[in-house]
Amino acid sequence: MKQKLTFTYGTETRDVEIDPDLLATPLIAPRPSDGAPRPPREVLVEALAAPLGRPPLRQMVAGKKVAMIISDEFRAGLHETILDVMVEEMAAGGPAEVAVLCGTGTHDPAIYTPKIRQWTEAASARHGLPVTFVAHDCDDPKLVEVGTTQRGSPVILEPSWLEADVRVSAHEAKHHYMAGYSSVLKHVLPSISGRASVVNNHRLALDDDSQAGQHPLHPDPARRSNPFSEDALEAFRMSLAYTVGPDGTVVDKPAESFLIDMISDKDEVFFTRAGDPELVTPQICAAADRQAEFTVPASRYVLLSPGGPPASTALYGVQNCFDMALLGAIEQNGEALVFGPCNGRPGMEPDARGLAPDGKSKALFWDNLVRFKDTPLEEAYREIHDNFKLYLWKTWRVLRLFKRDGIRIWIYGELSPQILAEGGFEHCADPQAWIDERVTRGDGKFVAIDGGNKLLVRPA
């Protein structure tokens, strides 16, 4: 009897069938929580009541100038609940001033901040705490430079962050394909940093060690090498070591810091801790591993869904799961079928639809993938490294899969065969037929992965 496998396909699902003897492992997907889910608000309030290495946040902010970072709308999460809980907690302490910074990195603040602003203003009104909302713009001339990291990244930051006595981050963590883990470090660089900071830091994503599952604050010393996040850690520490004074000058005066971080999805918080960022983050890395790290035997064929939107709306986002899940699951010269509708979002540029979030990222990620598709890998690397621009790290990582690892990738989705072929991908019209044809070859097993943008697959 064949086994049915269900894959996330945007906001829908798709089913296929396969002989269970041909599966190298059961279907891989993010693990459910232990026990019955609890309301996210309840879990967050509990974490705030027992911080690690810090007094409760309400005590820290009393009479102080406070800045808090939260992610933008590009990252699906519990923003509304987090904002409400954090504003309520700060209101209980009576701060002098509060600014909420929406960390957009290089994303367009006009596109990725409106709901965050709305939720911030609603929480402010509900809890009687005046809040200034700051939508980060990486090209704002008012950003302030406080120094340069050892790897050459200028640390250029939002002045509201540097002016605050207490600097808070409200973050949702997961494995990350180049930072190792999406951690509090990314809330400074790139989230509230200037474009030049982001460009230099992201060039480090071309290094093979800048990979999922490695992070300088990981509890396992053997998994701490990651140039991308080592640079971000230095920038994070610098962001807390300096203050902008009343006259606008930068002074060597450290600020207090506080983090609440969590492993979560749209309905549930699986794990959360609050307090000292450098005490919380190792626990978050370990929790991410328990929740969503898998080891598998590398196999000839991989069936893979990145998960739902926004991960599934464009190849730009689908690419994350190539590093997170595909790379650790597939043999050299293997073949992958990806369930990704790549159907874009309402109101976007038609020529970027399904390829990238906007025209600018499409021009850098996709157009360069098309340009380098037939270029020898070493030559492509030199060109990308020496003329690095944002999103080219994504181009490089796809090229590396195609040219170094010999991987062929079929996309089941709404992009035409002609467009996919331009970038080196192949089109799948019928997933079941694709599977059945490879079964008849009898030359390898399958690994099946759902939610590939939210987990980490490592080779056994």
Whether the per-residue pLDDT at 226 is higher than 90: the answer is yes
Question: Which of 265, 290, 315 is where one domain is finished?
Answer: 290
Q: Which of 12-26, 283-297, 348-362, 390-404 is least confident?
A: 348-362
Same-domain pairing of 174 and 314: no
Q: In the prediction, which pLDDT does 76 show?
A: 75
Question: Average of pLDDT values for 361-371?
Answer: 96
For 69, 136, 397, the CA distances from 193, given in Å and listed in that order, are 12, 8, 24
CATH number at residue 101: 3.40.50.11440
Whether the per-residue pLDDT at 345 is higher than 90: the answer is no
User: Helix, strand, or coil here: 279?
Assistant: helix
Q: In the prediction, which pLDDT does 284 show?
A: 98
Task: Examine residue 31 and state whether it is found in any structural domain, yes or no.
Answer: no
Task: Examine residue 45 and state whether it is found in any structural domain, yes or no.
Answer: yes
CA distance 282 to 278: 7
Q: In the prediction, which pLDDT does 205 show?
A: 96
The rounded radius of gyration (Å) of the Cα atoms in the chain is 22
End-to-end CA distance of the chain: 28
Same-domain pairing of 439 and 393: yes
Whether the per-residue pLDDT at 103 is higher than 80: the answer is yes
CA distance 288 to 297: 21
Q: In the prediction, which pLDDT does 251 show?
A: 92
pTM for this one? 0.92
Same-domain pairing of 138 and 235: yes
CA distance 298 to 199: 34
Whether the per-residue pLDDT at 45 is higher than 90: the answer is yes
CA distance 167 to 313: 34
If we measure between CA atoms, which residue out of 445, 452, 453, 397 comes closest to residue 424?
397
Same-domain pairing of 115 and 214: yes
If we measure between CA atoms, which residue out of 165, 212, 217, 161 comes closest to residue 189?
161
Tens of pLDDT, residues 228-276:
999 999 999 999 999 998 888 999 999 999 999 999 987 899 999 999 9
| pLDDT > 70 in the chain, percent | 100
Whether the per-residue pLDDT at 277 is higher than 80: the answer is yes
Same-domain pairing of 92 and 55: yes
Q: Taking each helix axis from N to C terminus, what angle separates 79-91 and 40-48, rounded to the nearest 10 degrees?
A: 40
Whether residue 395 contacts residue 375, with contact meaning beta carbons closer than 8 Å, is answered with: no
Residue 305: how many CA atoms within 13 Å on its side-chain side?
A: 26
Residue 221: how many CA atoms within 13 Å on its side-chain side?
A: 0
- Written as six digits, the tokens of 226 are 């990651």
Whether residue 206 contacts residue 391, with contact meaning beta carbons closer than 8 Å, is answered with: no
Q: In the prediction, which pLDDT does 263 show?
A: 94
CA distance 154 to 145: 7
User: Helix, strand, or coil here: 196?
Assistant: helix
Residue 348 confidence class, pLDDT cut points 50, 70, 90: confident
Residue 358 confidence class, pLDDT cut points 50, 70, 90: confident
| pLDDT > 90 in the chain, percent | 92
Tens of pLDDT, residues 414-441:
999 999 999 999 999 999 999 999 999 9
Question: Which of 264, 290, 316 is where one domain is finished?
Answer: 290
Of residues 35 and 228, more confidently modeled: 228
If we measure between CA atoms, which residue out of 305, 323, 330, 332 comes closest to residue 397?
323
Cβ atoms within 10 A of the Cβ of 321, count?
Answer: 27
If we measure between CA atoms, which residue out of 143, 123, 141 comes closest to residue 133?
123
Whether the per-residue pLDDT at 369 is higher than 80: the answer is yes
Residue at token pair 């499409």 = 362
Whether the per-residue pLDDT at 329 is higher than 90: the answer is yes
Question: Average of pLDDT values for 310-314?
Answer: 92
Q: In the prediction, which pLDDT does 442 show?
A: 96
Residue 31 confidence class, pLDDT cut points 50, 70, 90: confident
Whether the per-residue pLDDT at 405 is higher than 80: the answer is yes
Residue 30 confidence class, pLDDT cut points 50, 70, 90: confident
- Phi then psi for residue 408, to 5 deg, are -105, 135
Task: Examine residue 74 and state whether it is found in any structural domain, yes or no.
Answer: yes
CATH number at residue 9: 3.90.226.30
If we measure between CA atoms, which residue out of 266, 89, 109 comes closest to residue 195?
109
The per-residue pLDDT of the chain, averaged, comes to 96
Same-domain pairing of 44 and 73: yes
Residue 34 confidence class, pLDDT cut points 50, 70, 90: confident
Q: In the prediction, which pLDDT does 331 show?
A: 97
Q: How many domains does the chain have?
A: 2
Question: Which of 248, 270, 290 is where one domain is finished?
Answer: 290
Same-domain pairing of 275 and 333: no
Task: Examine residue 417 and state whether it is found in any structural domain, yes or no.
Answer: yes
Q: In the prediction, which pLDDT does 337 show?
A: 98
Q: In the prediction, which pLDDT does 335 show?
A: 98
Whether the per-residue pLDDT at 33 is higher than 80: the answer is no
Task: Examine residue 201 and state whether it is found in any structural domain, yes or no.
Answer: yes
Q: In the prediction, which pLDDT does 246 show?
A: 82
Task: Examine residue 345 and state whether it is found in any structural domain, yes or no.
Answer: yes
Task: Examine residue 444 and state whether it is found in any structural domain, yes or no.
Answer: yes
Same-domain pairing of 156 and 266: yes
Same-domain pairing of 137 and 105: yes
Same-domain pairing of 343 and 401: yes
Same-domain pairing of 314 and 262: no
Same-domain pairing of 244 and 331: no
Domain limits for position 307: 3-25+297-459
Q: In the prediction, which pLDDT does 267 show?
A: 83
